[in-house]
Amino acid sequence: MKTRYLLVILLLALAAAAMLAAPQAAPRLEVVGAPVHLNTGDTLKFTVRADDPAGVIAILGITVRELQGVMEQLPPVGKSQWGFEFTFSPEFQQGVYTLDLVARDKDGFLVPLAPGSATRVRFTIGTENKPQAPPAPPFRVPLVERKVTGTGGKAILIRHPYRSLAGGWYKGMLHTHTTNSDGRTPPPVLVGKYLAHGFDWLMIADHQVVTRDERSDTGQPIVRLLGAERATSNGDMICINFTDPQPSRLGQDTINLVTAKGGLVMFPHPAVPVGYDVGELQRLQGEAMIEVSNGGREQIQPWEYLLTTGRMVWAAASDDFHGGPDGEPAYSFVCVNAPACTPAAIVQNLRLGNFYASQGPTLSLSWRGNALRVQADSSGGFSFRGPGGVPWASMRSNATNAAVYEFTGEEQGYVRAEFVRSSDGKKAWTQPFWVSEVKSER
């Protein structure tokens, strides 16, 4: 009897060991009803069903791979089933997106899934199913004309935006944020920060909100432009000198409305995922400016692309500051040449392109016959560039902070000056100088 009892215990132990040694059925996920194509503004809906024999999946989430750090927990809609809904705003640009499904146990640990499990969903976001308005006319303003003889003997016409280089230069900001939208600094405190950094004027571009504060927390005033950063189906747009409600979220409609009311549109952060692709840059018309530096990060390729294709568009540099009261803005700015530092004069000379963009250096410009002289406030290097960013060679430099470009008459398209400061690599950019040959009349 005792031997039989021991044998039964041994057999049970062996069976238990075999069960423990046997591979556990790994959970699987099945995605049900995920769409292939969505339009901006549509709601993404799908269900995930879990085949989980071990019953370990307690939490299921997703991450949008193109948006770092974004994770949504899926709410359960039934036994071993989760549902997901997300409405795509215009900030999600046209393209293919990937959702990764993340399974976790009740303690929050990742759960290994069986090979071949459907753990990934790919879908395409399109654009709104609404027709865009016809494009506004391409942005055009009258330019200053200067007829000179190039170094090669040709009569040439130089067309440029700099009206009166002897006027005042006023440092300003076109794109920064406060607690009225997604910034972390109250408006009066932010005004004080820009005053402390020597800014003459300021536009707070809060999202969808016109922030009107014009005094610092100590009561000191600053010249204010009014406007906002508006979300559109083609990306965010900085709407300058425009305070009306936004009736449309379509990109071209927004440009048309702002320009019809006397405002200016600037494309912000054009070279990031929420910026502008080549197709949008081709289709949209009527913008006055585009950022070449956002938050201290250079993004010059979209501007060069537009100039190279023959568009008139001005280069701007902005902070896009979102930090708190302990942070410091003033990564970038524009410096406007105007007869006075008033909102009307600043807006007018922004429209005319009578300004330069900078990450820190300040510039001055002057003419010497057929030559343009550009000087910076610090040591560094100059280059003069044309279509595609290719440098022109006709430059002489007699100092570490100044350079002269002699127009030859052989230039094709335009010439723009670019300065790089030696101490920290910060840059500044002039607007383009368009060059054409003067045909002799017979």
Partnered with residue 290 across adjacent β-strands are 267, 315
SS (HEC) of 143-177: CEEEEEECCCCCEEEEEECCCCCCCEEEEEECCEC
Which of the four pLDDT bands, split at 50, 70 and 90, describes residue 57?
confident
Amino acid 386: pLDDT: 95
Taking the C-alpha atoms of residue 298 and residue 441, their distance in angstroms, rounded to an integer, is 44
How confident is the prediction for the chain on average, in pLDDT?
Answer: 86
- Residue 193 is encoded by which pair of tokens? 């920060």
Pairing of the two strands 37-38 and 120-125: parallel
Indicate if the pLDDT at residue 254 is higher than 70: yes
- Give the count of alpha carbons within 13 A of 325, CB side only: 7
Q: Which residues contact 158 (CB under 8 A, 6 or more apart)?
A: 145, 146, 147, 148, 407, 433, 434, 435
Which of the four pLDDT bands, split at 50, 70 and 90, describes residue 9?
low
CA neighbor of 332 nearest in space, from 168, 162, 169, 176: 176
Amino acid 324: pLDDT: 93
* Range 108-114, long-range pairs (CB < 8 A, 24+ positions): 108/59, 111/27, 111/56, 111/57, 112/26, 113/26, 113/27, 113/28, 113/29, 114/25, 114/26, 114/27, 114/28
Taking the C-alpha atoms of residue 161 and residue 141, their distance in angstroms, rounded to an integer, is 9
Q: Which residues contact 77 (CB under 8 A, 6 or more apart)?
A: 47, 83
| Average pLDDT estimate for 12-24 | 46
Enter the pTM of the model. 0.73
Which of the four pLDDT bands, split at 50, 70 and 90, describes residue 423?
very high
Indicate if the pLDDT at residue 8 is higher than 70: no
Which of the four pLDDT bands, split at 50, 70 and 90, describes residue 21?
very low
Strand order of the β-sheet with 95-104 is 37-38, 120-125, 95-104, 59-64, 71-73
240, 233 Cβ separation under 8 angstroms: no
Residue type at 98? T
Angle value at C-alpha 329, between 327 and 334, nearest 5 degrees: 180
Q: Out of 3.40.50.2000, 2.60.40.1930, 2.10.60.10, 3.30.200.20, select the CATH number for domain 25-125.
A: 2.60.40.1930
pLDDT tens column, 352-400: 999 999 999 999 999 988 899 999 999 999 999 999 999 998 887 768 8
Amino acid 317: pLDDT: 98
Query: Worst-scoring range by mean pLDDT, 120-134, 168-182, 209-223, 329-343?
Result: 120-134
Give the three-class secondary structure for 58. coil
Fold category of 144-437 in CATH: TIM Barrel (3.20.20)
**Cα 214 to Cα 60, 192, 253, 409, distances in angstroms:** 48, 10, 30, 47
| Distance from the first to the final alpha carbon of the chain | 129
Tell me the backbone φ, ψ of residue 241, rounded to 5 degrees.
Answer: 60, 45
Taking the C-alpha atoms of residue 352 and residue 433, their distance in angstroms, rounded to an integer, is 13
Residue boundaries of the structural domains of the chain: 25-125, 144-437
Give the three-class secondary structure for 281. helix
| Average pLDDT estimate for 146-169 | 90
Q: Which residues contact 79 (CB under 8 A, 6 or more apart)?
A: none
Positive or negative, the CA dihedral 247, 251, 252, 256 is positive
| Average pLDDT estimate for 105-125 | 81
pLDDT tens column, 299-346: 999 999 999 999 999 999 999 999 999 999 988 999 999 999 999 999
Indicate if the pLDDT at residue 66 is higher than 70: no
3-state DSSP helix/strand/coil percent for the chain, to nearest 5? Answer: 15, 35, 50
